[in-house]
Protein backbone atom coordinates (compact mmCIF):
# COMPACT_ATOMS: atom_id res chain seq x y z
CA UNK A 1 0.00 0.00 0.00
CA UNK A 2 2.67 2.50 1.03
CA UNK A 3 5.16 2.28 -1.83
CA UNK A 4 6.57 5.81 -1.38
CA UNK A 5 10.15 4.63 -0.97
CA UNK A 6 10.05 2.53 -4.15
CA UNK A 7 8.69 5.42 -6.18
CA UNK A 8 11.25 7.80 -4.68
CA UNK A 9 14.06 5.31 -5.41
CA UNK A 10 12.97 5.21 -9.06
CA UNK A 11 13.28 8.99 -9.14
CA UNK A 12 9.54 9.67 -9.33
CA UNK A 13 7.90 12.66 -7.65
CA UNK A 14 6.14 11.66 -4.41
CA UNK A 15 3.54 13.27 -2.08
CA UNK A 16 6.16 13.45 0.66
CA UNK A 17 9.68 12.24 1.41
CA UNK A 18 9.91 8.60 2.56
CA UNK A 19 11.83 7.90 5.77
CA UNK A 20 13.49 4.92 7.49
CA UNK A 21 16.56 4.46 9.70
CA UNK A 22 19.59 2.28 9.26
CA UNK A 23 19.70 -0.18 12.22
CA UNK A 24 16.08 0.64 13.07
CA UNK A 25 15.43 -2.99 14.02
CA UNK A 26 17.46 -3.41 17.14
CA UNK A 27 18.57 -2.27 20.49
CA UNK A 28 16.83 1.12 20.61
CA UNK A 29 13.56 -0.78 21.09
CA UNK A 30 12.79 -2.45 24.46
CA UNK A 31 10.49 -4.72 22.44
CA UNK A 32 13.56 -5.94 20.49
CA UNK A 33 15.56 -6.55 23.65
CA UNK A 34 12.69 -8.61 25.04
CA UNK A 35 12.64 -10.90 21.99
CA UNK A 36 16.43 -11.13 21.97
CA UNK A 37 16.58 -12.18 25.61
CA UNK A 38 14.19 -15.05 24.86
CA UNK A 39 16.98 -16.78 22.85
CA UNK A 40 20.69 -17.50 23.40
CA UNK A 41 21.76 -14.36 21.55
CA UNK A 42 22.01 -12.40 18.34
CA UNK A 43 23.04 -15.27 16.06
CA UNK A 44 20.15 -17.49 17.15
CA UNK A 45 17.75 -14.57 16.68
CA UNK A 46 18.97 -14.11 13.09
CA UNK A 47 18.61 -17.85 12.46
CA UNK A 48 15.04 -18.13 13.78
CA UNK A 49 12.83 -16.85 10.92
CA UNK A 50 9.68 -16.26 13.05
CA UNK A 51 11.59 -14.06 15.50
CA UNK A 52 13.64 -12.32 12.80
CA UNK A 53 10.35 -11.45 11.07
CA UNK A 54 8.87 -10.19 14.33
CA UNK A 55 11.74 -7.78 15.07
CA UNK A 56 11.83 -6.67 11.42
CA UNK A 57 8.23 -5.50 11.71
CA UNK A 58 8.56 -3.87 15.15
CA UNK A 59 9.84 -0.50 13.86
CA UNK A 60 7.06 -0.36 11.26
CA UNK A 61 4.44 -0.70 14.02
CA UNK A 62 6.23 1.24 16.76
CA UNK A 63 7.99 4.02 14.85
CA UNK A 64 5.99 4.46 11.64
CA UNK A 65 8.84 4.09 9.13
CA UNK A 66 8.11 3.82 5.40
CA UNK A 67 10.14 0.61 4.94
CA UNK A 68 11.17 -2.46 6.87
CA UNK A 69 14.74 -3.81 6.62
CA UNK A 70 15.15 -7.53 7.10
CA UNK A 71 16.64 -8.36 10.48
CA UNK A 72 19.96 -10.07 9.82
CA UNK A 73 23.60 -8.98 9.58
CA UNK A 74 26.17 -8.39 6.89
CA UNK A 75 28.30 -11.08 8.59
CA UNK A 76 26.07 -13.95 7.49
CA UNK A 77 28.04 -13.96 4.22
CA UNK A 78 31.44 -14.83 5.76
CA UNK A 79 29.60 -17.42 7.86
CA UNK A 80 28.00 -18.95 4.76
CA UNK A 81 31.44 -19.00 3.09
CA UNK A 82 32.84 -21.06 5.97
CA UNK A 83 33.82 -18.58 8.70
CA UNK A 84 31.36 -18.72 11.59
CA UNK A 85 31.09 -15.68 13.88
CA UNK A 86 30.03 -14.92 17.42
CA UNK A 87 28.45 -11.69 18.60
CA UNK A 88 30.16 -10.80 21.86
CA UNK A 89 28.07 -8.68 24.22
CA UNK A 90 29.28 -5.04 24.27
CA UNK A 91 32.25 -5.88 22.02
CA UNK A 92 30.75 -6.83 18.68
CA UNK A 93 31.51 -9.59 16.20
CA UNK A 94 34.31 -12.13 16.60
CA UNK A 95 35.47 -14.76 14.08
CA UNK A 96 37.50 -17.63 15.61
CA UNK A 97 39.00 -18.36 12.16
CA UNK A 98 40.16 -15.76 9.65
CA UNK A 99 41.72 -15.69 6.19
CA UNK A 100 45.47 -15.03 6.23
CA UNK A 101 46.93 -16.95 3.32
CA UNK A 102 46.18 -18.62 0.04
CA UNK A 103 45.92 -21.93 1.92
CA UNK A 104 43.04 -20.45 3.92
CA UNK A 105 41.20 -19.68 0.68
CA UNK A 106 41.06 -23.43 -0.01
CA UNK A 107 39.09 -23.87 3.22
CA UNK A 108 36.27 -21.51 2.24
CA UNK A 109 33.76 -21.55 -0.60
CA UNK A 110 31.35 -19.36 -2.53
CA UNK A 111 28.16 -19.46 -0.46
CA UNK A 112 25.46 -21.91 -1.46
CA UNK A 113 22.63 -19.52 -0.73
CA UNK A 114 19.72 -21.94 -0.49
CA UNK A 115 21.44 -24.28 1.95
CA UNK A 116 23.65 -21.82 3.86
CA UNK A 117 21.31 -18.82 4.04
CA UNK A 118 17.89 -20.42 3.74
CA UNK A 119 16.98 -19.03 7.17
CA UNK A 120 17.25 -15.43 5.90
CA UNK A 121 15.14 -16.27 2.86
CA UNK A 122 12.55 -17.90 5.11
CA UNK A 123 12.53 -14.78 7.34
CA UNK A 124 11.97 -12.59 4.26
CA UNK A 125 9.02 -14.71 3.12
CA UNK A 126 7.44 -14.62 6.58
CA UNK A 127 8.02 -10.88 6.92
CA UNK A 128 6.40 -10.18 3.54
CA UNK A 129 3.39 -12.24 4.54
CA UNK A 130 3.03 -10.46 7.88
CA UNK A 131 3.65 -7.00 6.41
CA UNK A 132 0.87 -7.73 3.94
CA UNK A 133 1.89 -4.82 1.69
CA UNK A 134 1.95 -2.17 4.43
CA UNK A 135 5.47 -1.01 3.50
CA UNK A 136 8.21 -2.36 1.21
CA UNK A 137 10.93 -4.64 2.57
CA UNK A 138 14.61 -3.77 2.11
CA UNK A 139 17.12 -6.59 1.64
CA UNK A 140 20.80 -5.95 2.18
CA UNK A 141 24.37 -7.17 2.15
CA UNK A 142 27.78 -5.80 3.05
CA UNK A 143 29.94 -4.48 0.23
CA UNK A 144 32.78 -6.86 -0.65
CA UNK A 145 35.48 -4.60 0.82
CA UNK A 146 33.75 -4.33 4.22
CA UNK A 147 33.19 -8.11 4.33
CA UNK A 148 36.85 -8.64 3.34
CA UNK A 149 37.85 -6.52 6.37
CA UNK A 150 36.04 -8.85 8.79
CA UNK A 151 37.25 -12.03 7.07
CA UNK A 152 40.90 -10.92 7.37
CA UNK A 153 40.80 -9.28 10.81
CA UNK A 154 38.14 -11.40 12.52
CA UNK A 155 36.74 -8.49 14.50
CA UNK A 156 36.18 -4.75 14.43
CA UNK A 157 39.17 -2.41 14.17
CA UNK A 158 39.73 1.33 14.05
CA UNK A 159 42.12 1.10 11.10
CA UNK A 160 41.58 -2.35 9.52
CA UNK A 161 45.28 -2.13 8.78
CA UNK A 162 45.69 -5.91 8.37
CA UNK A 163 43.04 -5.89 5.66
CA UNK A 164 44.57 -2.84 3.94
CA UNK A 165 48.02 -4.39 4.25
CA UNK A 166 46.81 -7.28 2.03
CA UNK A 167 46.04 -4.78 -0.74
CA UNK A 168 49.62 -3.50 -0.61
CA UNK A 169 51.39 -6.83 -0.11
CA UNK A 170 49.22 -9.35 -1.96
CA UNK A 171 46.84 -7.71 -4.41
CA UNK A 172 46.21 -10.89 -6.38
CA UNK A 173 45.15 -12.86 -3.33
CA UNK A 174 43.01 -9.89 -2.27
CA UNK A 175 41.20 -9.89 -5.61
CA UNK A 176 40.61 -13.64 -5.39
CA UNK A 177 38.90 -13.30 -2.02
CA UNK A 178 36.98 -10.17 -3.08
CA UNK A 179 35.67 -12.06 -6.13
CA UNK A 180 34.49 -14.99 -3.99
CA UNK A 181 32.68 -12.55 -1.69
CA UNK A 182 31.14 -10.76 -4.68
CA UNK A 183 29.89 -14.00 -6.25
CA UNK A 184 28.35 -15.02 -2.91
CA UNK A 185 26.76 -11.59 -2.48
CA UNK A 186 25.18 -11.46 -5.93
CA UNK A 187 23.62 -14.91 -5.45
CA UNK A 188 22.47 -13.91 -1.97
CA UNK A 189 20.85 -10.63 -3.06
CA UNK A 190 19.12 -12.30 -6.00
CA UNK A 191 17.72 -14.93 -3.62
CA UNK A 192 16.55 -12.19 -1.23
CA UNK A 193 14.70 -10.53 -4.12
CA UNK A 194 13.17 -13.82 -5.17
CA UNK A 195 12.02 -14.36 -1.58
CA UNK A 196 10.33 -10.94 -1.62
CA UNK A 197 12.82 -8.09 -0.96
CA UNK A 198 11.48 -5.01 -2.77
CA UNK A 199 14.76 -3.08 -2.89
CA UNK A 200 18.30 -3.68 -1.68
CA UNK A 201 21.07 -1.75 0.05
CA UNK A 202 24.80 -2.41 -0.01
CA UNK A 203 26.60 -1.31 3.16
CA UNK A 204 30.25 -0.33 2.68
CA UNK A 205 30.73 0.67 6.31
CA UNK A 206 34.55 0.86 6.21
CA UNK A 207 34.87 2.50 2.79
CA UNK A 208 36.23 5.68 4.35
CA UNK A 209 39.50 4.08 5.48
CA UNK A 210 40.69 3.45 1.91
CA UNK A 211 42.63 5.86 -0.23
CA UNK A 212 40.81 6.93 -3.39
CA UNK A 213 43.23 4.79 -5.44
CA UNK A 214 42.55 1.71 -3.34
CA UNK A 215 38.83 2.35 -3.45
CA UNK A 216 38.84 2.39 -7.22
CA UNK A 217 41.05 -0.70 -7.42
CA UNK A 218 39.61 -2.92 -4.67
CA UNK A 219 36.12 -1.68 -3.78
CA UNK A 220 34.36 0.01 -6.69
CA UNK A 221 34.80 -2.75 -9.31
CA UNK A 222 33.01 -5.23 -7.04
CA UNK A 223 30.22 -2.80 -6.18
CA UNK A 224 29.81 -2.29 -9.92
CA UNK A 225 29.58 -6.03 -10.50
CA UNK A 226 26.80 -6.24 -7.92
CA UNK A 227 24.90 -3.22 -9.26
CA UNK A 228 25.18 -4.54 -12.83
CA UNK A 229 23.97 -8.01 -11.82
CA UNK A 230 20.95 -6.87 -9.80
CA UNK A 231 18.45 -5.54 -12.31
CA UNK A 232 15.21 -6.60 -10.61
CA UNK A 233 14.75 -3.90 -7.94
CA UNK A 234 16.13 -0.45 -6.94
CA UNK A 235 19.61 -0.48 -5.40
CA UNK A 236 21.21 1.80 -2.81
CA UNK A 237 24.96 2.05 -2.23
CA UNK A 238 26.00 3.45 1.13
CA UNK A 239 29.78 3.88 1.31
CA UNK A 240 30.41 5.48 4.68
CA UNK A 241 33.18 8.04 4.67
CA UNK A 242 33.94 7.61 0.98
CA UNK A 243 33.25 11.20 -0.03
CA UNK A 244 35.95 10.76 -2.70
CA UNK A 245 33.94 7.95 -4.32
CA UNK A 246 30.64 9.79 -4.81
CA UNK A 247 31.32 10.50 -8.47
CA UNK A 248 32.17 6.85 -9.20
CA UNK A 249 29.10 5.66 -7.30
CA UNK A 250 27.07 8.23 -9.26
CA UNK A 251 28.31 6.60 -12.48
CA UNK A 252 27.46 3.09 -11.23
CA UNK A 253 24.25 1.28 -11.93
CA UNK A 254 22.69 2.02 -8.53
CA UNK A 255 19.53 4.13 -8.07
CA UNK A 256 20.28 5.73 -4.73
CA UNK A 257 23.50 7.00 -3.17
CA UNK A 258 23.63 6.95 0.64
CA UNK A 259 25.30 9.94 2.27
CA UNK A 260 26.83 10.13 5.72
CA UNK A 261 26.55 13.34 7.74
CA UNK A 262 29.95 14.64 6.65
CA UNK A 263 28.93 14.80 3.02
CA UNK A 264 27.62 18.10 1.72
CA UNK A 265 24.23 17.66 0.06
CA UNK A 266 24.56 20.28 -2.71
CA UNK A 267 28.02 19.02 -3.62
CA UNK A 268 26.73 15.43 -3.61
CA UNK A 269 23.91 16.39 -5.98
CA UNK A 270 26.49 17.78 -8.41
CA UNK A 271 28.70 14.71 -8.18
CA UNK A 272 26.13 11.92 -8.42
CA UNK A 273 24.68 12.22 -11.88
CA UNK A 274 21.05 12.91 -10.96
CA UNK A 275 20.72 9.90 -8.66
CA UNK A 276 18.38 9.77 -5.68
CA UNK A 277 20.17 10.60 -2.41
CA UNK A 278 19.60 8.98 0.98
CA UNK A 279 20.51 10.40 4.36
CA UNK A 280 22.00 12.13 6.17
CA UNK A 281 21.22 13.53 9.62
CA UNK A 282 24.03 13.10 12.16
CA UNK A 283 22.85 10.20 14.41
CA UNK A 284 24.02 12.27 17.41
CA UNK A 285 21.45 14.97 16.53
CA UNK A 286 18.90 12.62 18.12
CA UNK A 287 20.49 13.25 21.53
CA UNK A 288 19.04 16.77 21.42
CA UNK A 289 15.66 17.93 22.76
CA UNK A 290 12.51 17.32 20.71
CA UNK A 291 12.69 20.91 19.46
CA UNK A 292 16.37 20.44 18.49
CA UNK A 293 15.60 17.23 16.59
CA UNK A 294 12.73 18.89 14.76
CA UNK A 295 14.89 21.85 13.79
CA UNK A 296 17.83 19.73 12.62
CA UNK A 297 15.51 17.51 10.58
CA UNK A 298 13.97 20.53 8.82
CA UNK A 299 17.42 21.94 8.03
CA UNK A 300 18.33 18.57 6.51
CA UNK A 301 15.12 18.40 4.44
CA UNK A 302 15.67 21.92 3.10
CA UNK A 303 19.13 20.93 1.88
CA UNK A 304 17.81 17.94 -0.09
CA UNK A 305 14.65 19.58 -1.41
CA UNK A 306 11.38 17.74 -2.10
CA UNK A 307 12.51 15.35 -4.84
CA UNK A 308 14.98 12.50 -5.21
CA UNK A 309 15.45 12.10 -1.47
CA UNK A 310 14.96 9.22 0.97
CA UNK A 311 15.31 10.57 4.50
CA UNK A 312 17.56 8.65 6.90
CA UNK A 313 20.39 9.22 9.34
CA UNK A 314 23.97 9.46 8.09
CA UNK A 315 24.71 6.06 9.72
CA UNK A 316 22.89 3.54 11.90
CA UNK A 317 20.91 4.80 14.89
CA UNK A 318 22.93 4.49 18.11
CA UNK A 319 21.66 1.97 20.69
CA UNK A 320 21.15 4.52 23.50
CA UNK A 321 18.90 6.85 21.50
CA UNK A 322 15.44 7.41 23.00
CA UNK A 323 12.85 5.94 20.57
CA UNK A 324 10.72 9.04 21.22
CA UNK A 325 13.43 11.14 19.51
CA UNK A 326 13.37 8.77 16.56
CA UNK A 327 9.62 9.35 16.32
CA UNK A 328 10.15 13.13 16.32
CA UNK A 329 12.62 12.69 13.42
CA UNK A 330 10.18 10.49 11.48
CA UNK A 331 7.12 12.65 12.11
CA UNK A 332 9.00 15.82 11.21
CA UNK A 333 10.03 14.28 7.87
CA UNK A 334 6.45 13.24 7.18
CA UNK A 335 4.84 16.58 8.06
CA UNK A 336 7.46 19.05 6.86
CA UNK A 337 8.28 17.31 3.57
CA UNK A 338 4.60 17.36 2.59
CA UNK A 339 4.51 21.12 3.14
CA UNK A 340 7.66 21.56 1.02
CA UNK A 341 5.76 20.52 -2.11
O1 LIG B 1 17.70 -2.62 11.48
C2 LIG B 1 18.55 -2.96 10.63
O3 LIG B 1 19.29 -2.16 10.06
C4 LIG B 1 18.57 -4.43 10.21
C5 LIG B 1 19.56 -5.24 10.77
C6 LIG B 1 21.05 -4.98 10.67
C7 LIG B 1 21.93 -5.39 11.70
N8 LIG B 1 23.21 -5.18 11.27
C9 LIG B 1 21.52 -5.97 12.98
C10 LIG B 1 22.46 -5.95 14.11
C11 LIG B 1 21.83 -4.44 9.64
C12 LIG B 1 21.41 -3.79 8.33
C13 LIG B 1 23.20 -4.58 10.04
C14 LIG B 1 24.32 -4.19 9.19
C15 LIG B 1 25.68 -4.25 9.71
N16 LIG B 1 26.23 -5.16 10.57
C17 LIG B 1 26.72 -3.37 9.30
C18 LIG B 1 26.57 -2.28 8.28
C19 LIG B 1 25.90 -1.09 8.83
C20 LIG B 1 26.77 -0.24 9.72
O21 LIG B 1 26.36 -0.05 10.88
O22 LIG B 1 27.79 0.23 9.26
C23 LIG B 1 27.89 -3.73 9.99
C24 LIG B 1 29.25 -3.08 9.90
C25 LIG B 1 27.57 -4.89 10.78
C26 LIG B 1 28.48 -5.69 11.65
C27 LIG B 1 28.06 -5.65 13.05
N28 LIG B 1 26.90 -6.24 13.54
C29 LIG B 1 28.74 -5.05 14.14
C30 LIG B 1 30.04 -4.28 14.02
C31 LIG B 1 27.97 -5.27 15.27
C32 LIG B 1 28.30 -4.91 16.71
C33 LIG B 1 28.20 -3.48 16.97
C34 LIG B 1 26.81 -2.94 16.75
O35 LIG B 1 26.67 -2.01 15.99
O36 LIG B 1 25.88 -3.46 17.38
C37 LIG B 1 26.80 -5.99 14.88
C38 LIG B 1 25.70 -6.41 15.75
C39 LIG B 1 24.31 -6.16 15.36
N40 LIG B 1 23.81 -6.22 14.10
C41 LIG B 1 23.26 -5.85 16.26
C42 LIG B 1 22.09 -5.72 15.49
C43 LIG B 1 20.70 -5.44 15.96
C44 LIG B 1 23.39 -5.75 17.76
C45 LIG B 1 23.54 -7.10 18.35
C46 LIG B 1 22.70 -7.34 19.54
O47 LIG B 1 21.48 -7.24 19.50
O48 LIG B 1 23.33 -7.68 20.52
Calpha distance 53→70 (Å, rounded): 7
pLDDT score of 106: 96
pLDDT in tens, 231-281: 999 999 999 999 999 999 999 999 999 999 999 999 999 999 999 999 999
Q: How far is the CA of 73 from the centre of ligand 1 (A)?
A: 6
Active site residue 27: yes
Share of the chain above pLDDT 70, in %: 100
Question: Does the pLDDT of residue 89 top 90, yes or no?
Answer: no
Share of the chain above pLDDT 90, in %: 99
**Numbers of helices and strands, H then E, in the chain:** 17, 9
- Give burial (CB, 10 Å; 0-12/13-18/19+) of 240: buried
Q: Which residue, by CA, sits nearest to atom 24 of ligand 1?
A: 205
| CB atoms near residue 234 (< 10 Å) | 23
- Pocket around ligand 1 at a 6 A CB cut-off: 22-27, 36, 42, 69, 71-75, 87, 92-93, 140, 156, 203, 205, 316
Ranges of H-type helices in 258-340: 265-271, 290-304, 323-339
* Mean pLDDT for all residues in the chain: 97
C-alpha distances (whole Å) from 247 to each of 222, 241, 242 are: 16, 13, 10
pLDDT in tens, 125-148: 999 999 999 999 999 999 999 999
pLDDT score of 22: 98
Calpha distance 279→308 (Å, rounded): 11
pLDDT score of 90: 87
Using DSSP's 3-state secondary structure scheme, residue 157 falls into coil
Active site residue 36: yes
Whether the Cβ atoms of residue 309 and residue 236 lie closer than 8 Å to each other: no
Amino acid sequence: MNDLILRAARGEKTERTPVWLMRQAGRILPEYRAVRSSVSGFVELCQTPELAAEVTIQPVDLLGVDAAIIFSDILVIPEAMGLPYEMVEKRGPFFPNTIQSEADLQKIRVADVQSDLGYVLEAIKLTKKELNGRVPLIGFAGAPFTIFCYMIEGQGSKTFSKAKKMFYTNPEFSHQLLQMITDSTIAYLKAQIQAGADMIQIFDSWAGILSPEQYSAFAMPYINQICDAITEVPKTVFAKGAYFAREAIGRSNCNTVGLDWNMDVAESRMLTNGKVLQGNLDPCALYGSNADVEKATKVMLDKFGPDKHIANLGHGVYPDIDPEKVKVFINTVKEYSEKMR
